[in-house]
């Protein structure tokens, strides 16, 4: 049962990083292996947002789509992702964003998953492990591109 956890200290606020990760529709623009992301539904309640989303990931000739429920909790600065349908037996993912002062934050990323098929797990497992390790870095690069560009003075 593969799992991965990391914490990265980034030069952006917890609110900025939360907003970046919460904008799931933009994932295909910068996230490794993410070919498409479609939000099927979005419900707002008590300051929280619940999304049902389909994500298509691919590597070479293999393409898989899976459905997840994404719970955005901006007041707590957390995002919880739970698996609904697709090639996994289960998939749980959690993001926690913690302010560190002076415009910096700690981004905690944890994921735990298992493929239904041992064959698919063997083929995709190593590649998924590499991709998950690159996710936090991809979000940090995206934050640098978006927030650092907007913070630069006009010449």
Rounded CA Rg of the chain? 16
Supply the range of the domain harboring residue 117. Answer: 3-151
Number of domains in the chain: 1
CATH code of 77's domain: 3.30.530.20
Cα gap 57→120, rounded to integer Å: 13
Taking the chain (155 residues) in runs of 10, the rounded mean pLDDT of each run is 86 96 96 93 97 90 90 98 92 96 94 84 71 81 84 42
Beta strand residue intervals within the chain, DSSP E: 3-10, 34-45, 48-59, 62-73, 78-85, 88-101, 104-115
Q: What is the pLDDT of residue 43?
A: 98
CA–CA distance, 14 with 34 (Å, rounded to integer): 24
145, 105, 127, 94: CA torsion to nearest 10: -130
pLDDT at 97: 97
User: So what's the pLDDT on residue 137?
Assistant: 84
> What is the rounded distance in angstroms from the CA atom of residue 148 to the CA atom of residue 27?
19
- What pLDDT was estimated at residue 58? 82
pLDDT at 153: 42
Predicted local confidence at residue 27, as pLDDT: 96
pLDDT at 149: 59
What's the pLDDT at 18? 97
Per-residue pLDDT at 152: 42
Q: What confidence score (pLDDT) does residue 154 get? A: 39
> Cα torsion for 75, 8, 70, 41, to the nearest 10°?
90
Task: Give me the pLDDT at residue 10, please.
Answer: 94
Query: Taking the mean position of all CA atoms in its chain, how far away is CA 10?
Result: 16
């Amino acid at each position: 049962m593969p799992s991965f956890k990391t914490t990265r200290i980034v030069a952006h606020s917890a609110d900025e990083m939360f907003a970046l990760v919460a904008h799931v529709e933009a994932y295909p623009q910068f996230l490794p292996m993410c070919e498409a992301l479609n939000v099927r539904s979005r419900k707002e309640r008590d300051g929280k947002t619940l999304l049902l989303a389909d994500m298509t990931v691919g590597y070479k000739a293999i393409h898989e789509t899976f459905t997840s429920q994404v719970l955005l909790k901006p007041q707590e600065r957390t995002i919880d992702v739970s698996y609904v349908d697709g090639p996994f037996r289960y998939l749980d993912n959690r993001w926690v964003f913690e302010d560190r002062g002076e415009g910096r934050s700690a981004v905690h990323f944890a994921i735990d998953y298992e493929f239904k098929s041992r064959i698919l797990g063997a083929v995709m497992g190593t590649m998924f492990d590499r991709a998950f390790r690159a996710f936090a870095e991809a979000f940090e690069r995206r934050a640098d591109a978006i927030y650092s560009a907007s913070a630069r003075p006009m010449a």
